Amino acid sequence: MSHYTANLRDIEFCLFDLLRREEILGKSVFKDIDRETAMGMLEEIKRLAENDLGDSLIESDRLGVQFNKETGDIKLPESFKKSYRAYMDNEWWRIDAPVEIGGTLIPASLRWAIAEMVLGSNPSIHIYASGTAFAHVAYMLGNENQKKMAKLMVDNDWGATMQLTEPDAGSDVGAARSKAVEQSDGTWHITGTKRFITSGDSDLNPNIIHYVLARPQGARPGTKGLSLFLVPKFMFDFETGELGKRNGIYVTNVEHKMGLNVSATCEMNFGEKEPAVGYLLGDVHHGIAQMFKVIEFARMMVGTKAIATLSAGYQQALSYAKVRVQGPDLTKVADKASPRVTIINHPDVRRSLMVQKSYSEGMRALLLYTASIQDEILIAKADGADERLADLVALNDLLLPIVKGYGSEKSWILLGTESLQTFGGSGFTQDWPLEQYVRDAKIDTLYEGTTAIQGLDFFFRKIIKDGGRALALLGKEIAAFAASGGELAEEKTSLAKSLEDLNTMTGAMVGFAMESQESVEEIYKTGLNTTRLLMSVGEVIIAWLLLRQAEIAIAKSVNPGRDSDFYAGKVASAKFFVRTVLPHLRAELEIVLSETGDLMEVPESAF
């Protein structure tokens, strides 16, 4: 067994009890999958994750990547390559490939449940293996030659990267300076430098297709002037896939990171040694819209990675707390001869464990709830239900920054302040995997848009631009549940009050934005609180999902069988979360309502 323990029981509960995914299996686009098949896939990936995949996590972190600056090539540890091959050779890549080129269509909820176990056991495997997901984009949006390229990517296990960030642009993608010049044969020559490029090179794949945003010569400034180009590491024959000469894209530096060390994060240079030949995706200049197909997948992946790591950290902390003997029971501390107890019996350790349990299980439910919306989108498209489709797409768009921003921020904080803390001084050593979990998880709050950027996107694009429609749909569903009474009536009343506070907070921030039409500085009052709103919405959704799970657990407790403790834990974690977390929303509301924007008047020299 490796460091990793998957929580398959909770995944199964989320999929089939909470989200009732069995209702969509065997029907419509998912007609070839039933519950038995889905569980078989989950059980097999659990076995793989807990053994073959997780085996190399720690060694590959210690060894890192080897970079040859002369050739621009990167080599990975043999143990990691063995784990990667176990994933690819078992053909898990098929769940991301289009059916037309050898893929297997499964519900998004099942796909991300599988991904949780891969990302929790060894996240870099999933990251390097995302070439198939990139191929999906090339197949769906590309011209006939690019569809052939997509099939070659799938058949030959070619890697892929997404290349947006530049040294002088950072998150301001529209400030990118990379240039593209069209050639007489219809190809483009790319010049420029990109930075922080994940999987920029490795010796895992015979070829890599780089998805590069660059500005065609004469195109307008800003993001809308960018186009998306497919730039191979090696040129190739579109019919046979035979590799040809080296293309003019090279790694010029590898970042020295605090974590995720086996994932090569690179600086890339185009066109310095020889022309970097690229192909315009779909023969259209819709670069940023096309790249967002990749970005949305990446943001879902980042949130899943973070949530999976918190779950892994909680499993480690829980196991340790059950065996680590230290100190007497608090009620017997005056008796110096009283027996020592395991630390799970100490009140603050127990509090810490319940914090970890409620958040890790609540955020898993958030992740799979979001994925279930993606299931419904596929079904609505197949059924031609356009009106329903619009609402589903808006709801998915609303939830993505919560999965990514809220999921990564909460996971990173809790891994350090609760999971690692459970181990005391031992957690700070490399004797336990928690120190690596903490290092590896920090990147999740940073890449694919920092938490602050997720907050801005959430408010201005997913609420204001949408006219609040998706948020209102979600709020209506939460409110109906909160008003449904039953054994959890008291907790549901608390949820209703928090939802009301959240609506007031949102209304106040919309008001700030409207006032900025008359006095532009008022927009600062919104900008100072967008992350606060994102996190507050996340808390309300988690409370709602935990209470829904608790209600199901209460109903099933009539005949619990061997699951009595599991159901008791569901009820306990929901009540704990509502009692200890939701009250903070009132304070967050008061902060928003009292916002003056004065912070923006403080001179830089005063900081």
Per-position DSSP letters for 79-104, written without gaps between them:
HHHHHHHHHHHTTGGGGTS-GGGT--
Give the residue among 551, 549, 547, 553 at the shortest CA–CA distance from 568: 553
Instruction: Determine the Cα–Cα distance for residues 22 and 36; give it in Å rounded to an integer.
Output: 10
- Note the pLDDT of residue 169: 77
Most distant CA atoms of the chain, gap in Å: 88
Evaluate whether 299 touches 285 at the Cβ level (below 8 Å).
no
Residue 334 tokens, joined: 């005056």
All residue ranges of the chain with pLDDT < 50 are none
Evaluate whether 129 touches 45 at the Cβ level (below 8 Å).
no
Instruction: Determine the Cα–Cα distance for residues 521 and 595; give it in Å rounded to an integer.
Output: 13
pTM (2 decimals)? 0.96
- Note the pLDDT of residue 26: 93
* Phi, psi angle pair for 484, to nearest 5°: -85, -5
Compute CA 305 distance to the chain's CA centroid, rounded to the nearest angstrom: 5
Which of 50, 116, 361, 448 is an active site residue?
448
Residue 230 tokens, joined: 């497919």
Give the residue among 372, 450, 404 at the shortest CA–CA distance from 307: 404
Q: What's the sign of the alpha-carbon dihedral 462, 465, 469, 475?
A: positive
Evaluate whether 261 touches 442 at the Cβ level (below 8 Å).
no
- Note the pLDDT of residue 562: 84
Residue 232 tokens, joined: 């191979």
Residues in the chain: 607
- Note the pLDDT of residue 523: 97
Dihedral of the alpha carbons of 35, 36, 38, 40, in degrees to the nearest 10: 160
Instruction: Determine the Cα–Cα distance for residues 118 and 582; give it in Å rounded to an integer.
Output: 32
- Note the pLDDT of residue 1: 66
For 26, the 3-state DSSP assignment is coil
CB-based burial label for 17 (10 Å; 0-12, 13-18, 19+): middle
pLDDT tens digits, residue range 110-143? Answer: 999 999 999 999 999 999 999 999 999 999 999 9
Q: Assess whether 448 carries a catalytic annotation.
A: yes
Evaluate whether 402 touches 455 at the Cβ level (below 8 Å).
no
Angle at 452 between CA 448 and CA 453, to 5 degrees: 45
Q: What's the sign of the alpha-carbon dihedral 386, 390, 396, 401?
A: positive
Find all residues with CB under 8 Å of 36, minimum gap 6, and list them: none
